[in-house]
A and B are shown apart, each in its own frame.
Chain A
Amino acid sequence: MLELTEKRLMSVIWILENKNKSWSVYEMRKGTAKMLGADDMVYKKGTRVPIVNLSLTYRPVLDFVKELEKSRFILKDERTSEYSVARVPDLVKLVSLARPVTSLIDKAIGYKSPLDFEGTMRLVQASGLEYSFTMFAGSELYRSYVMTDQVHAYIREGDEKKWEEYLLPKKCLRAEKAHANIFLLPTKNEVLIRQARKLKGFSIAPTPILLSDLWSFGGLGEEQARFLMDAWLENRM
């Protein structure tokens, strides 16, 4: 199976976010580096030919692209040498296997909010801190489907104390998994926060991550993922 390092994962997210277009390897490197917040273009010595930040060097990226092509996740147009994604659902499933949300939830910081589902989401939104909703909190904004009070949100690793200082005075108690209805998922991965999508005033994790999380959750999560996948493929999201 294709191994997904963090950088490769970001490349996959970029590819999926650009599912409607074809792209060159250069474009993908540049786009992924930008997503990671890497430096902008630098130029080849003595030329005006731009190259991407060396944190995503050409060889490993090309090797990864070739691996994706070999597995037919992406296809190359021989006329233009550009690639396009061909198996979006399977790529999302690959992401879900590489980072199953259940293992993230096991490490989540749990709180019990006294509010209902919508109230809890508004509470998180009003924090002024950076976050992105995933799982049912993220997906219910697209389609109301699941009866739940559980709110899952990615937060920046290092912001845990700030969240504690915000939530405790709001009558939210620290809670174990079985009793929590707020699950804060600390992440080092800037993309999950930076590339969050704004919908109805709420921040939602990038769609590939949202779908991957729902899928790996299974049950109603998988059902919601299937529905949203169709809508996303048809550009209705």
Chain B
Amino acid sequence: MERLLFKKSNELLQDFFKALAKEEASHIGLMGGWAVHYTLKSRGVVHLESRDIDIFFDPAKIKPSAIEGKLEKMGFHRHSTFRWAKYFDSDSEKELTMEQAKTHPIYETSTIYFDIATPIKIMHMMPEPLLKKVFGKEKQFISISGINVMVPNPITLIRMKLKSAPERNNEFKRTKDIADLYALLENHPELWALKEGQKEKPKNLEKKPAQKFREKLAVFKKDGTIVASAAMLKIDEKKLARLLEKI
């Protein structure tokens, strides 16, 4: 079931961005786990895929209804506030209609979520203030199967993960956030202040979120999050913890 989710999710995100008009491409971007995956892929690093698709857009340039229209056309259904969903039968991989999904056994249903974020608070969208900087300068364009996609730059992705990880109630998402954070920090040496050639401290991280993360890291070391993230990344727990302690 996992493989299906990753494969379908990847296909759907590519379909979404492939269908964007040229003038939309600099106002609609990819964030979250897939942004981390492809950012690292652009550096030749193989990293974990993602189940959900997280995008963001500039509401000053693109109408929310335009985004919603695209998702409806792709067969997504409104799920909750800023979340859309698509349902599949886990065995046959066949897409389910909304009516079918309601009665389909839950253990045979795979769901892909599509979340939408904006830099400011607007109805039916998830507000993420860090996106204001992305629409400033803190973005980059990466190629996903030949499609040019806007993503937050690595330092902003790190800031986002630093912010989200301590707040997560969902165990899996918390574990994944930590794994993403580690992979970004480990594979972007240019974001570090060095001492005698060794990574000493990440540069340009705001004090308050870093402090909050450090406090939460003490809990993550005891509550199984570090163990689970290390297992996800297939690395030693101590290696993971030692890097994160430098934040």
Q: Do A and B bind each other?
A: yes
Cβ of B238: which chain A residues have Cβ within 8 Å of it?
75, 77-78
User: Are B219's CB and A86's CB within 8 A?
Assistant: no
Cβ of B208: which chain A residues have Cβ within 8 Å of it?
none
Residue-by-residue, is B211-244 near A (CB-CB < 8 Å gives 1, otherwise 0)? 0000000010111101100010000011000000
Cβ of A233: which chain B residues have Cβ within 8 Å of it?
219, 222-223
The CA of A65 and the CA of B213, in the complex, are separated in Å by: 30
**Given A72-B237, A75-B237, A75-B238, is A88 in contact with B227 using a C-beta cutoff of 8 Å?**
no
The CA of A233 and the CA of B226, in the complex, are separated in Å by: 14
Cβ of B231: which chain A residues have Cβ within 8 Å of it?
72
Residue-by-residue, is A63-104 near B (CB-CB < 8 Å gives 1, otherwise 0)? 000000000100101100000111111100000000000000
User: Are B237's CB and A89's CB within 8 A?
Assistant: no
Is A197 positioned at the interface, with any CB of B under 8 Å from its CB? no
The CA of A88 and the CA of B222, in the complex, are separated in Å by: 6
Cβ of A87: which chain B residues have Cβ within 8 Å of it?
222-224, 227
Q: Which of B219, B222, B231 has the most CB of A within 10 A?
A: B222
- Describe A's contact surface by its main secondary structure: mixed
Is A3 positioned at the interface, with any CB of B under 8 Å from its CB? no
The CA of A142 and the CA of B26, in the complex, are separated in Å by: 52
The CA of A87 and the CA of B231, in the complex, are separated in Å by: 13
Give chain A nearest CB distance to B226 CB in angstroms.
Answer: 7
**In chain A, residues 216-235, which have Cβ atoms closer than 8 Å to a Cβ of chain B?**
233-234
The CA of A87 and the CA of B223, in the complex, are separated in Å by: 5
User: Are A88's CB and B224's CB within 8 A?
Assistant: yes
Number of residues in B with C-beta < 8 Å to the partner? 10
- Describe B's contact surface by its main secondary structure: helix
The CA of A88 and the CA of B237, in the complex, are separated in Å by: 15
Nearest neighbor of B221 in chain A, beta-carbon distance: A86
Cβ of A72: which chain B residues have Cβ within 8 Å of it?
227, 231, 237
Cβ of B224: which chain A residues have Cβ within 8 Å of it?
86-90
Cβ of A78: which chain B residues have Cβ within 8 Å of it?
238
Q: Which of A78, A85, A87, A90 has the most CB of B within 10 A?
A: A87
Residue-by-residue, is A124-165 near B (CB-CB < 8 Å gives 1, otherwise 0)? 000000000000000000000000000000000000000000
Is A19 positioned at the interface, with any CB of B under 8 Å from its CB? yes
Cβ of B221: which chain A residues have Cβ within 8 Å of it?
84, 86
**Given A75-B237, A77-B238, is A85 in contact with B227 using a C-beta cutoff of 8 Å?**
no
The CA of A234 and the CA of B219, in the complex, are separated in Å by: 6
Cβ of A88: which chain B residues have Cβ within 8 Å of it?
222-224
Nearest neighbor of B224 in chain A, beta-carbon distance: A87
User: Are B222's CB and A75's CB within 8 A?
Assistant: no
The CA of A85 and the CA of B223, in the complex, are separated in Å by: 9
Cβ of A20: which chain B residues have Cβ within 8 Å of it?
222
Q: Which of A20, A77, A84, A234 has the most CB of B within 10 A?
A: A234
The CA of A78 and the CA of B242, in the complex, are separated in Å by: 13
Give chain A nearest CB distance to B236 CB in angstroms.
Answer: 9
The CA of A72 and the CA of B231, in the complex, are separated in Å by: 10
The CA of A90 and the CA of B226, in the complex, are separated in Å by: 13
Cβ of A84: which chain B residues have Cβ within 8 Å of it?
221-222
Give chain A nearest CB distance to B245 CB in angstroms.
Answer: 13
Give chain B nearest CB distance to A79 CB in angstroms.
Answer: 9
Give chain A nearest CB distance to B240 CB in angstroms.
Answer: 11
Nearest neighbor of A79 in chain B, beta-carbon distance: B238
Give chain B nearest CB distance to A28 CB in angstroms.
Answer: 16
Cβ of A89: which chain B residues have Cβ within 8 Å of it?
223-224
The CA of A75 and the CA of B231, in the complex, are separated in Å by: 13
Give chain A nearest CB distance to B41 CB in angstroms.
Answer: 29
Cβ of B226: which chain A residues have Cβ within 8 Å of it?
86
Nearest neighbor of B171 in chain A, beta-carbon distance: A89
The CA of A75 and the CA of B237, in the complex, are separated in Å by: 8
Give chain B nearest CB distance to A229 CB in angstroms.
Answer: 8
Q: Which of A85, A86, A234 has the most CB of B within 10 A?
A: A86
**Given A72-B227, A75-B227, is A85 in contact with B237 using a C-beta cutoff of 8 Å?**
no
Interface contacts beyond A72-B237, A233-B223: sample of 6 additional A-B pairs, CB < 8 Å, sorted by A: A75-B227, A84-B221, A88-B222, A88-B223, A89-B223, A90-B224
By a beta-carbon cutoff of 8 Å, the part of chain A in contact with chain B is 19-20, 72, 75, 77-78, 84-90, 233-234
Give me 9 A-to-B residue pairs in the complex whose CB atoms sit less than 8 angstroms apart, sorted by A's number: A19-B222, A20-B222, A72-B231, A75-B237, A86-B222, A86-B226, A87-B227, A233-B223, A234-B219
A-B pairs, 6 with minimum CB distance: A87-B224, A72-B227, A233-B219, A88-B222, A86-B227, A233-B223
